[in-house]
Amino acid sequence: MAGAAADMSAAEERISVASNWTLVWWRFRKHKLALASAAILAVLYAIVLCPDFFSTQHPERTDARQAFIPIQSIHFLDDGKWAPWVPAAVGKRNPVTLRMEWGADPSRRIRIGFFVDGPEYRFLGLVRAKVRLVGPLDPEQRIFLLGSDRMGRDQWSRIMHGTQTSMTIGLVAVTLSVVLGIVLGGISGYFGGWTDQVIQRLIEILQSVPTIPIWLALSAALPRDWTPTQVFFAITVILSLIGWTTLGREVRGRFLALREEDFVLAAELAGCSRWRIIVRHMVPTFLSHIIATSSLAIPVMIINETSLSFLGLGIRPPAISWGVLLQEAQNIQTLALAPWLLLPGLLVIVAVLAFNLVGDGLRDASDPYSK
């Protein structure tokens, strides 16, 4: 009896001395789905860091004779022993349509291995490396784990590189919106008066802009001769220019409420500068909330980027993003022949779903004192 009471008080003590972030983490941990989604996102961001390690070959390597090869599935055992392989693809030309028709030939096996040496790449653009997660043991061979496209490029490797672009755009665009939202919303809420009026009107105008048409028009206005990197940053800026308004409004509301709080008055009396009050005292009180809101904004950005690129007005080839990859699936006749070209879309859905679930979990956890 006494032991149980001691346990109780120990647990209570643990809760009462835990920091705000610890409480958020404890609460987040309870959402199993959110936790699983966070794991998926971790994998995706690992790919973002080094897509070359995860891909089997260079994403631009073409071979017209290896177009539209179907998915080659991995078999792990050979005669009951560990020896992973994929069946070789054999093509036969259809005598009527003259189209190449691929079939798998299980008797001809391409040996593959994990952590094998493949073509050289630069890790993080700096360090020379050769090791790849999975690849053929014979470097002369090519394997197509998710099939190949019309130019005989390996879709698996292209998806890895597309992941890097699309996930980065989502993150950078939201970061930009958050910065804009905090700065402008903060100024608006903290200073009030005519500054507030101007910013509020600006937000209203931006919020009544028809987003997709204006995005399209802005991206169409980008010079054609820009490099992929320039286009990448321009698209990011375009996406965040309209995206910051919701957050700006929220931050303003919080500032308006917090301005009257005692601890802000105390800080003012203690002689803190305005900047210090905002950054050190006000922002931390709603930071967890902002993180939750922005993790829900990332998937929206990802969908927008994918749609823009799919329409041909976002990221442009030779840069690779999920939207660029899906452009290959635009033609229904092609799609009927090579349905695996839709797979990048599945990844979009998985990523967006994961972000939404993590965002929901964070939102619930962001206020650890609520019931």
Partner 1 sequence: MIRFVLQRLLLLPLLMAVFSILVFVIVEAPPGDFLTSYIATLASSGSSIGAEHVEALRRQYGLDQPIWVQYLKWVGNLLQGDLGLSLEYQRPNAELIGEQLFLTVVLALFSFVLTWIIAVPAGIYSAIRQRSVVDYILTVVNYIGVATPNFMLALVLMWVAFAYFGISVTGLFSPEYQGAEWSLAKFLDLLAHAWLPSLVLGIAGTARLTRVMRANLLDELNKPYVVTARAKGLSEWTLVLRYPVRLAFNPLVSTIGWYLPQLFSGSLIVATVMNLPNIGPLLLRALVNQDMYLAGSILLIYCMLTIVGTLLSDILLAWLDPRIRMEG
Return the HEC string of 74-104. CEEEECCEEEEEEEEEEEEECCCCCCEEEEE
- Contacts with partner 1, residue ranges (CB under 8 A): 205, 208-214, 216-218, 220-223, 299, 303, 306-307, 310-313, 326, 329-330, 332-333, 335-336, 339, 342, 345, 348-349, 352-353, 356-357
Cα 139 to Cα 130: distance, rounded to the nearest angstrom: 11
Q: How far apart are CB 265 and partner 1 at their closest, in Å? A: 28
DSSP state of 57: S
**Nearer to partner 1 by C-beta: 220 or 279?**
220
b or e along 148-175 (b: 16 or more beta carbons within 10 Å of the residue's beta carbon)? bbeebbbbbbbbbbbbbbbbbbbbbbbe
**Nearer to partner 1 by C-beta: 84 or 312?**
312
Contact 368, 28 (CB under 8 A): no
Q: How far apart are CB 236 and partner 1 at their closest, in Å? A: 18
Q: How far apart are CB 173 and partner 1 at their closest, in Å? A: 16
Q: How far apart are CB 299 and partner 1 at their closest, in Å? A: 7
What does each C-alpha distance from 290 to 22, 72, 149, 257, 303 come to in angstroms? 17, 43, 41, 16, 20
What type of residue sits at position 89? A
**Nearer to partner 1 by C-beta: 182 or 351?**
351
**Nearer to partner 1 by C-beta: 116 or 239?**
239
**Nearer to partner 1 by C-beta: 196 or 360?**
360
How many other β-carbons are positioned within 10 Å of the β-carbon of residue 241?
18
Q: How far apart are CB 79 and partner 1 at their closest, in Å? A: 37
**Nearer to partner 1 by C-beta: 258 or 357?**
357
Please provide residue 217's backbone torsions phi and psi, each rounded to the nearest 5 degrees.
Answer: -65, -40
Q: How far apart are CB 357 and partner 1 at their closest, in Å? A: 7
Nearest in space to 332 (alpha carbons), one of 341, 324, 320: 341
DSSP state of 176: H
Q: How far apart are CB 182 and partner 1 at their closest, in Å? A: 22
**Nearer to partner 1 by C-beta: 62 or 246?**
246
DSSP state of 291: H
Cα 30 to Cα 23: distance, rounded to the nearest angstrom: 11
Strand order in the sheet with 127-136: 75-78, 81-93, 100-123, 127-136
